Amino acid sequence: MSVQIIKNASRIFAVTAALVLTATVAAASGGGGPALKTQKWSFNGPMGTYDRAQVQRGYQVYSEVCAGCHSLKYVRFGNLLDIGFSEAQAKAVAAEYEAEDGPDDDGEMFMRPARLSDALPAPFANDKAARASNNGALPPDLSLIAKARVGGADYVYTLLTGYSDAPAGHEVAEGMEYNAWFPGTQIAMAPPLSDDGIEYVDGTAATADQQAKDVGAFLMWAAEPKLEDRHRTGLKTMIFLIILTILFWLVKRRVWRDAH
């Protein structure tokens, strides 16, 4: 009886493991779609850090290409200091925008130059205005997009470089674009990147592929700005646990050295 129970338990375990593995593979590939184009990111791994130059280029791509439709409501101008901007540079960027403030002594709201403490401005006043300007589609806020999508920065890169002509027999609705990596394969956003569509401040060749990588890194930073702190904390914790384990082992040997 006990042997049969063990066999049945083994079968159940094997089936469960297979189902979990299948689900994991499906999730990693975006829910059954084509596999993502994985990139070598500087922030991957337990010791990963953000490439400040790349993240700054990614901000330039966002500000010149994406900001016309997509907001970054959880990022403030002061956060640009964390990616290598000087205070003067961040203030100069903020000064290009206005922020609502008030009320004043008369109880009226007013506009003033943006400060480091202000959030990056949204391109539209509200969702209805955004839909009206985009043929009914609502451009998502990009603050957390790299964490909200399976694959993170790989998903952003793959989506931006995944536009192509629809395969034969695949009908694309009017005003939509074919992208095999977007759910349903039809996306309202036209291909946003093109070779030399912008001119990088640091002189890097602005190919569409490079822009997709850079904005992918920037959006990963926007979604997880404390990633480096988390990695450092994890490393310190592991070192502490290793030292503590060695100390416990030495104490155990000393306490039990006369035991037989």
Own/partner long-range contacts of 225-234 (Cβ < 8 Å, ≥24 apart): 225/79, 225/82, 227/43, 227/48, 227/50, 228/43, 228/48, 228/49, 228/50, 231/46, 231/47, 231/48, 231/49, 234/46
**Model confidence at 48, in pLDDT bands (50, 70, 90)?**
very high
**Nearest-angstrom CA–CA distance, 6 and 237:** 39
pLDDT in tens, 188-243: 999 999 999 999 999 999 999 999 999 999 999 999 999 999 999 999 999 999 99
**Nearest-angstrom CA–CA distance, 58 and 210:** 9
Strand locations in the chain, DSSP E? 98-101, 110-113, 177-178, 186-187
Q: What is residue 24's predicted lDDT score, i.e. its pLDDT?
A: 41
User: With contact defined as beta carbons under 8 Å apart, do 50 and 207 qualify?
Assistant: no
Q: What is the pTM of this model?
A: 0.81
pLDDT in tens, 145-163: 999 999 999 999 999 999 9
Q: Is 112 helix (H, G, I), strand (E, B) or coil?
A: strand
Map out the domains of the chain as residue ranges. Answer: 34-75+136-225, 76-118, 228-260
Which residue would you say has higher pLDDT here, 20 or 66? 66
Q: Tell which CATH architecture fits domain 34-75+136-225.
A: Orthogonal Bundle (1.10)
Task: Please give the full DSSP string across 79-110, using - where no structure is assigned.
Answer: GGGGGT--HHHHHHHHHTSEEEE---TTS--E
State what percent of residues in the chain have pLDDT above 90: 78
Average pLDDT in the chain: 88
Longest Cα–Cα distance in the chain? 88
pLDDT average, residue stretch 114-135: 94
